[in-house]
Amino acid sequence: MADVVEVLVSGGKATAGPPIGPALGPLGINVKAVVDEINKKTSEFNGMQVPVTIEVDDKKNFTVTVGIPPTTALIKKEVHIEKGSPEPNLKVVGDLPMQAAVRIARMKAGDMLSYDLKNAVKEVVGTCVSMGVNVEGKRPKEALAEIDAGTYDAVLAQ
């Protein structure tokens, strides 16, 4: 029977302290080796919160599985902002290019409810609504209408 530990860590900056150390300590495995593995696998998500699953088997072998950061974290990275707008309907904090929305939708495809890329992109753009981030210089709701109208079909086909 394997033990499974799920944690949210800062990409490339995991430490043996909480939440990892206390969760793995009782399992009797080398916590530093696990932390090193997590940091190696999450380095591309530097500064973003990343979900990580650590599975430890009966023989004290471990497997580290890295999830995809939340959509909001990916949008913040693309737009180069620390956090979303405190007043998303009034204050715009950034602008997400449509190509970036498509890239994020492809990354998150396995975690989304959408069956196709067009709807996955609409989910990403929908997240922009609550963050106060424009898409292609337009309010997200306008961008959603344009996606429905087929304005970005060429970008989605790339």
Res. 48 pLDDT band, cuts 50 70 90:
confident
Q: Are residues 113 and 82 in the same domain?
A: yes
**Is 90 exceeded by the pLDDT of residue 49?**
no
Strand bridging mode 62-66 / 49-56: antiparallel
Q: What's residue 46's pLDDT? A: 84
Nearest Cα to Cα of residue 112 among 157, 70, 146: 70
Last residue of a domain, one of 50, 66, 82: 66
How far separated are the first and last CA of the chain, in Å rounded? Answer: 44
Tell me, yes or no, whether 85 and 152 share the same domain. yes
What pLDDT sits at residue 109?
84
Does the pLDDT value for residue 157 go beyond 90? no
Domain range for 114:
71-156
106 contacts: CB under 8 Å, gap ≥ 6: 117, 120
Q: What mean pLDDT do residues 108-115 have?
A: 84
Q: Do 43 and 103 reside in the same domain of the chain?
A: no
Residue 117 in this model has a pLDDT that exceeds 90: yes
| Same domain, residue pair 52 and 115 | no
Burial 21-57 (b: 16+ CB within 10 A, else e): eebbeeeebebeebbebbbebbeebeebebbbebebe
- SS3 category, 137: coil
Q: Over 80: is that where the pLDDT of 4 sits?
A: yes
pLDDT for 53-85, tens place per residue? 999 998 989 999 999 898 999 999 999 999 999
Residue with structure tokens 């490339």? 12
Domain boundary among 66, 87, 112: 66
- Residue 9 above 80 pLDDT? yes
Q: Are residues 80 and 62 in the same domain?
A: no
Residues 135, 75 share a domain: yes
Strand duo 94-96 + 133-135: pairing:
parallel
**Residue 1's pLDDT band (cuts 50, 70, 90):** low
Integer CA distances (angstroms), 95 to 7, 25, 36, 43, in order: 31, 44, 35, 25
CB of 88 within 8 A of CB of 126? no
- Pair (151, 75) in one structural domain: yes
Domain termination residue (choose one: 20, 36, 66)? 66
CA dihedral 13→19→22→24, nearest 10 degrees, is -70
Confidence of residue 112 (pLDDT cuts 50, 70, 90): confident
For position 50, which CATH number holds?
3.30.1550.10
Are residues 40 and 75 located together in one domain of the fold? no
Structural domain tally of the chain? Answer: 2
Three state DSSP letters for 18-40: CCHHHHHHHHCCCHHHHHHHHHH
The whole-number average pLDDT for the span 138-142 is 96
